[in-house]
Structure 1
Amino acid sequence: MYPDLYKGLNLKPEDLTAYNSSLVSFEGKTITPRSQIRLPIQARLDVVEVDFIVVDAYSPYTVIVARPWLHALGAVSSTLHQKVKYPLEGQQSATPVLPSNELTEEAKCKDLEKVAVGIDPKKFFQVGSKLPPQEKEELIGFLRENVDIFVWDAYEAPRVDPSFIYHHLNVSPSVTPKKQPPQHPLKEHADAIKDEVTKLKKARAIKEVFYPEWLAITVVVKKKSRKWRVCVDFTDLNKAYPIDLFPMPG
């Protein structure tokens, strides 16, 4: 448990009990916990008593719940889906398990129908064909009313205002900048790079700048569709970038 939650629950020193063992943070630092407290956690209708170690340190989280709590509830967590599933009374799982052929049909999204936005056949929405008529009509109406916020091509997306958010490379100042040697790509690779750069410049996603210190080459790879994907070799830059212990999900 971190300070924000400790203060938010209005806990007092007399509510805590001693805790003597040290902890190792995600950064590898040794931290001496303030104390511990036992609190109930309710998940649906189940209530489980959990021991929380109160740590006086910064964290983007308010609390971290360990495996004993999950085991006590019989819950299953998924870091991929950022969700926790709880068993319901008298059932094995809160989500029914489908046969493999049903999962395949669900993955293929066969029950979707296209709804045209305008005269351009490439611009359309996909909605569930089995939705109730009134719900489907309301959904289509809502999508059409807000069609101006959708794009059908990555290059149509508008620029993000830097006052809202921007990206900063936290490169270690102790690392010596490295220039990767220039390459002589094949003609088809050079054409793919030129087309990609032209698209990005037209969309104002990139602009021409000069970096006399850091230089990274482009790498062209073939996708399954047989088209070319243009990448940048950030190997050297990644080595100069500190490990992010709390990366944003992608």
Structure 2
Amino acid sequence: MTGSVPKMLRIDNPFIGFSKEDAWRLHHSHDDVLVVTIQAEDYNMHRVLVDNGNSVDILYYPAFQHMGIDRERLVPTNAPLVGFGGTRVFPLGVVTLAVTIGDYPQQITKNVAFLVVDCSSAYNTIIGRPTLNSWKVVTSTYHLMIKFPTDYGVGELRGDQVAALECYVAMMEMDDHLQAMSIEERRAATEPVERLEDVSLDDSQPEQTTKIGTLADPTARQGLATFLKENRDVFTWSHKDMPGIDPSVLVHRLNVSPSFPPVRQKKRVFTQEKDRVVVEEVCKLQEVGFIREVYYPDWLVNVMMVKKSNEKLRMCVDFTNLNKACPTDSYPSRRSTSWWTLRPNTSC
């Protein structure tokens, strides 16, 4: 006896809408980007940015290499990509991949022409307007999901809020790096308007110096140097010189509702490389007095290791669940309530 696959009823022009239930799985308030997972060829591709403002579909070269795609599939192109700053990037070529989104039977599979770009990014690929329009996609950044019509109803693809936050941290590191490079290039291209001279702020510590211009008359320069020496306490030479604000003046605390009991997370196991970085970062924070060791904690949250653009690891703490335990803030801030980053020069 052989079974037969039941025929599914085709639905023409299904209604697409969003409801409150679509946002229940998210942490609010948020301003995260829409990061999804798609199936490209035989790969489940994570960290895919859905960008309505992008006029092209982009596949970054590291992802292209990881997929093992033959370079002979690249079709040459001479059209450069132009960013907001006017910078031009020339793609390595165009590759066409079969992309599938959604769950069967509410799914679609279509060929997408990606521009392969060899530059740093926290994302593997970017889906822009050409593909979104061809899929007839409706996006909702509030619900962090997209919906699209299929022959058998409305398909949907949900965003990954944790991946969006990780990409945000990584892109911030890259932005800092690119900004520094841009500043260095400008300095190399322009001549300084005046020569600078070193001024020692403390005779007992000659390494503590600053610079002032030489175009002013000697009397003004001497007065400025005297003023800087008298106020040298505003300068910092190491992390130990930043003790923070006296608690009698200002104290930052988490407004956690008493109805939420403390939670001790299960200890996370890291690789030897990540363990070494965690120990180094914790020791730095302990030495300067930014953190202290606590015995028998009522609550415990694991650190998260995020890889920066220079391949080094950065230690972060994911406090996303605090959004559930803290009453709504009238002035929400992602960096203060959802995703805290521990740096040697940051006091939490």
**What TM-score does the superposition give when structure 1 sets the normalisation length?**
0.45
Q: Which has the higher strand share?
A: 2
Structure with greater contact order relative to length (CA < 8 Å, sep ≥ 6): 2
**What TM-score does the superposition give when structure 2 sets the normalisation length?**
0.34
